[in-house]
Amino acid sequence: MGRNLVQKILEEHLIEGEYRTDSEVGIRIDQTLTQDATGTMAFLQFEAIGIDRVRTKRSVSYVDHNMLQTSFENPDDHRYLQSAAARFGAYFSRPGNGICHQVHLERFGIPGDTLIGSDSHTPTAGGLGMIAIGAGGLDVAVAMGGGAYFLKVPKVMRVNLTGKLSPWVTAKDIILEMLRRLTVKGGVGWIVEYGGPGVENLTVPERSTITNMGAELGATTSLFPSDEQTRRFLEAQGRADDWRELKPDQDARYEQTMEIDLAELEPLIAQPSMPDKVVPVREIEGLEVAQVCVGSCTNSSYMDLTRVARIFKGRTIYPGLSMTLSPGSKQVFEMISREGSLSDLIAAGVRVLESGCGPCIGMGQAPPTGTVTVRTFNRNFAGRTGTPGDRSYLCSPETAAATALNGKITDPRKLGEYPLVNLPAKFIINDNMVIKPPENGGDVEIIRGPNIKPVPRKEPLPDLLEGELLLKVADDITTDHIMPAGAKILPLRSNIPAISEHVFVAVDKTFPARARAAGGGFIVGGLNYGQGSSREHAALAPMYLGIKAVIVKSFARIHFANLVNFGIVPLEFDDPSDYDRLELGDKLKLGDLHEGLLKGEVYLTDETANVRIKLIARLSERQARIIKAGGLLAFTRAGV
Catalytic pick among 535, 537, 557, 559: 535
Distance (Å, rounded) from C-alpha 554 to C-alpha 476?
A: 10
Instruction: Write down the catalytic residue from 28, 30, 59, 65.
Output: 65
Q: Residue 581 contacts by C-beta under 8 Å, 6 or more apart in sequence?
A: 606, 609, 611, 613
Q: Are strands 521-524 and 587-590 parallel, antiparallel or unpaired?
A: unpaired
Of 156, 93, 163, 101, the closest CA to residue 128 belongs to 101
For residue 71, indicate whether it is catalytic. no
Of these residues, 64, 476, 578, 606, which one is catalytic? 64
Please tell me which residue in 158, 207, 375, 379 is annotated as part of the active site.
379
Q: For this structure, is 158 an active site residue?
A: no
| 120 carries an active-site annotation | no
DSSP state of 99: -
Residue in 435, 99, 429, 100 with CA at minimum distance from that of residue 235: 429
Share in percent of the chain as helix, strand, coil (round to 5) = 35, 20, 45
CB 27 within 8 A of CB 14: yes
Q: From the candidates 83, 396, 533, 620, give the one annotated as an active-site residue.
A: 533
- Kindly report the backbone phi and psi dihedral angles of residue 548, in degrees, each rounded to the nearest multiple of 5, phi listed first: -100, -35
Residue 253 is among the residues annotated as catalytic for this protein: no
Q: State yes or no: is 559 an active-site residue.
A: no
**Structural Rg of the chain based on CA atoms:** 23
Q: Are 126 and 156 in contact (CB under 8 A)?
A: no
Torsion of CA 352, 358, 362, 364, to 10 degrees: -50
Give yes or no: 166 in active site: no
Angle in degrees, 0-180, between the axes of helices 537-544 and 36-49, rounded to the nearest 10: 60
Q: What angle do CA 44, 35, 626 make, to 5 degrees?
A: 50
Nearest of 127, 147, 118 to residue 27 by alpha carbon: 147
Residues carrying an active site annotation: 64-65, 119, 379, 533, 535
